[in-house]
Chain A
Amino acid sequence: MFNFIIRRLGIAIPTMLILIVFSFSMMKLAPGGPFTSERPLPPQVLANIEAKYGLDQPEYMQLFNYMKGIITQFDFGPSFRFKDRSVNDIIAQGFPVTLTYGIWSFIVAVTVGISLGAVAAIKKNSWLDYTAVGITIGAQVLPNFVMAPILVLIFTLWLGWLPGGGWNGGEWPYLVMPVIALSTSYMASIARITRSSMLEVLNSNFIRTAKAKGLSNGSIILKHALKPTMLPVISYLGPAFVGMVTGSVVIDQYFSTGGIGQLFVNSALSRDYSVMMGITILLGALVIIFNMIVDILYAWIDPKIRL
């Protein structure tokens, strides 16, 4: 197990470095420096500003300083658009919002998805199963950017039950639609994976043995079938997490929740490279760490992987 964790770290750390170096070189490739504006600055002023931000140093030194800042102080540098704010300030403003509805969406997708899939598998070929399968097929073509306007149309414009956007400190009426819009398609995928995995497990020999021993249905499913069923589901959690992190951009944009995704799009449209880079690296790190935890969890449940 210990060796496995070390080996897994051996992937995570280079990935992180590649991500940082890649986004840094993208920023350097971008046309126009951060301080080019319509009115050209006097060369002396420009030189002073560049010296202040360390842009007069050779590029490898800049990269080194940038990485040193991130690793030692968790400092992503100054924003190029808002002269009085650092990237950290901007991220700190949006991150809690994204985290709140992101965690809720993840919980909803996993719990509803697993229960729906498990029920469908246990009651195979009943109306419950058909409904569940129908939902999972339908949700394939309902990604977050399709769900969001449809939800607003139904619940805000036609029924008038929920506010159509905003955040308001994360009160629950403001939370419902973002969570549903973000979680639906992943919920469906988890349900589909759970169903097929559980069907396979329920047909296997050890379940037949358990039945032959006279165990009750409930204890067969909870004690014997659930754990092997979970393996494919766990390996899907990584991609689902990436999808949700990415989807948060749409949610923020459409519901104006003010989360990190909205900041990302705004900075993309105004070419605020340092903010874009900071967000990319932060979310990248989050995804990489999450993937690592999922892999370790997987290896813990399924000893075959550790070899």
Chain B
Amino acid sequence: MGSVASEKANQLAKHNPKTRKIEQMAQNMANTAPVKGRSLWQDAYHRFFQNKAAVISVIALTAIVLFSFIGPYFAVWSNEEIDWARLGKATEMGAPSLENGHYFGIDNLGRDLYSRVIQGTQVSLMVGLIGAGIAVFVGTFYGAAAGYFGGRIDSFMMRLVDILMSIPFMFILILMLVVFGRSLYMLFIGIGLLAWLDMARIVRGQTLTIKNKEYVEAAIATGVPSLTIIRRHIVPNLMGVVAVYATLLVPGMILTESFISFLGLGVQEPNTSWGALISEGAGTINYGTTWQLFVPLFFFVVTLFSFFFIGDGLRDALDPKDR
């Protein structure tokens, strides 16, 4: 009985133009290549490169990083050499000039500011990146653990963050630098350990929402250990938020380091950083050697701006609330 009915339908379909059209369409669809889905990261990539300020910032930042690596090959004077002919005559003879090889002028001790700025750029960027790296690492795992375990553990861990947050850390950091000796190493640790608190809070908030997703539930149900869930399922999904705040952390770290170096408590001679250079420049503006202030200030300001705009661009690109 059934086969007779289907034969009838087939015959009908042959003569019905509408059905034929639909069949043709189905054929066409089957022949064309499958539509490519866009992943979250591709989408973000696309959005980010439509943001003009962010793109210009990426270019500016790349230029500064390249400058700190390639710049030394064009230097006429090294960063330690003292130009005895111009020492003490910075006001009259120390201004930036192409002829004598002091592209950015000389500093107060007769050293070439061009080479000093390159040295300072390397140190400042390194402090920024390593400090932010430490903060991101500690903050992400601390926040993810607090958010994931929840309950008493969470409230204890977050209470600790609250307590640490209401301490004026700059003073503690200076105290530490004085007690344990002023070294770059100490600066990295001190600044990094100071900044993970915000990161931990943000990550915890995100973890709380991720924790209730089905795939985490599935992982728990299949008996995956907690630490593996944090490492394999929670942390990778936090990466968007972490990326945004990491880019915003770097300028924060550079600011902190510059602050301490400005006070003369950070990096020590012969090492230098933007903060130390700005401090030297600020100390000599009375003598009319304004380039000693403005050259390092220029690099400092451009870098901070770039990081802020890149961070903003990333936030707009990765923020799921916006779609």
Contacts and interface: CB of A to CB of B under 8 A. Distances in A.
Bound pair: A and B? yes
Which 4 pairs, one residue from A and one from B, show the smallest C-beta to C-beta distance? Answer: A149-B282, A141-B304, A246-B170, A145-B262
Contact of A148 (B170, B171, B282, B286): B282
A249 B166 CA distance: 18
Interface of B: 159, 162-163, 166-168, 170-172, 174-180, 255, 258-259, 262-265, 275, 278-279, 281-282, 285-286, 290, 293, 297, 300-301, 304-305, 308
A26 B176 contact: yes
Interface string A135-154: 00100111101101100110
Interface residues of A, number: 48
Centre residue among B159, B166, B286 by max chain A CB count within 10 A? B166
A249 B173 CA distance: 13
B294 to A, nearest CB: 9
B117 to A, nearest CB: 16
Nearest to B162: A11
Nearest to B265: A268
B168 A283 contact: yes
Contacts of A271: 178
Contacts of B265: 265, 268-269
Given A149-B278, A157-B285, A238 B166 contact: yes
A23 B168 CA distance: 12
B263 A140 contact: no
Interface string A5-18: 00000011011001
Given A145-B279, A149-B293, A291-B166, A140 B308 contact: yes
A245 interface: yes
A4 B294 CA distance: 50
A157 B275 contact: no
A29 interface: yes
A245 B168 contact: yes
B285 A149 contact: yes
Contacts of B174: 264, 268, 276
Contacts of B258: 143, 145
A23 B175 contact: yes
A182 interface: no
Contact of B175 (A26, A246, A254): A26
A45 interface: no
A211 B157 CA distance: 46
A3 B106 CA distance: 63
Contacts of A55: none
Q: Is the interface of B mostly helix, strand, loop or mixed?
A: helix
A287 B163 contact: no
- What's the dominant secondary structure at chain A's contact region? helix
B163 A18 contact: yes
Nearest to A289: B166
Contacts of A265: 263-265
Nearest to A286: B168
A14 to B, nearest CB: 6
A284 B163 contact: no
A36 to B, nearest CB: 15
A288 interface: yes
A265 B178 CA distance: 10
B171 A246 contact: yes
A28 to B, nearest CB: 10
A280 B172 contact: yes
A283 B297 CA distance: 30
Given A145-B259, A268-B265, 19 more contacts: A11-B159, A19-B167, A23-B172, A26-B176, A137-B308, A145-B262, A145-B275, A145-B278, A145-B282, A146-B278, A146-B297, A149-B281, A153-B293, A245-B168, A250-B262, A279-B171, A284-B168, A287-B168, A288-B166
B282 A276 contact: no
12 contacts: A11-B162, A22-B172, A23-B175, A141-B301, A145-B278, A146-B278, A148-B282, A153-B290, A246-B170, A246-B171, A276-B175, A287-B166
B131 to A, nearest CB: 16
B300 to A, nearest CB: 7
Contacts of A11: 159, 162-163, 166
A273 B175 CA distance: 8
B175 A280 contact: yes
A268 B282 contact: no
Nearest to B275: A145
A269 B182 CA distance: 11
A254 B308 CA distance: 27
Nearest to A290: B166
Contacts of B159: 11
Contacts of B275: 145
A146 B278 CA distance: 8
Contact of B171 (A143, A146, A238, A264): A264
A277 interface: yes
A143 B168 CA distance: 17
Q: Which of B162, B174, B175, B293 has the most CB of A within 10 A?
A: B175
Contacts of A22: 172
Contact of B263 (A15, A250, A283): A250
Contacts of B177: 268
A122 interface: no
